[in-house]
Amino acid sequence: GENVEQHPSTLSVQEGDSAVIKCTYSDSASNYFPWYKQELGKRPQLIIDIRSNVGEKKDQRIAVTLNKTAKHFSLHITETQPEDSAVYFCAASYGNMLTFGGGTRLMVKP
């Protein structure tokens, strides 16, 4: 089955700095890669996703890149704000199976 590894497990940045979270996946058949943000005590919320036929996608301060050959994808957050503090999960899927990475706790210090 699919295995997704996510790094780092914790990330602390100063407000205004950029944050980068990286994930690798094992199953070359995976073709959809969403990112979720989960605030304490709340549900995971989809913040951006990318499909295997695209190399990069951007939505305001958030961007995701995908390298299919190397089987890794990354989340980039620019101009971080305190409200970006949360746990971020990457995931990979083929069909109905969505496998999550271990999560990254992002802390943005004002």
Partner 1 sequence: DTEVTQTPKHLVMGMTNKKSLKCEQHMGHRAMYWYKQKAKKPPELMFVYSYEKLSINESVPSRFSPECPNSSLLNLHLHALQPEDSALYLCASSQEGLNYGYTFGSGTRLTVV
Based on CB atoms, which residue is closest to partner 1, 45 or 81?
A: 45
Residue spans of beta strands (DSSP E) within 2-69: 4-7, 10-14, 19-25, 32-38, 45-51, 56-59, 62-67
Residue 102 binds partner 1 (CB under 8 A): yes
**For the window 28-47, what string marks contact with partner 1 as x by the rule CB under 8 A?**
---xx-x-x-----xxxxx-
Residue 107 binds partner 1 (CB under 8 A): no
Residue 10 binds partner 1 (CB under 8 A): no
User: Residues 74, 80, 85, 93: which binds partner 1 (CB under 8 A)?
Assistant: 93
Q: What CA–CA distance (Å, rounded) separates 22 from 70?
A: 12
Nearest to 43 by CA among 99, 101, 86: 86
Least CB distance from residue 94 to partner 1, whole Å? 8
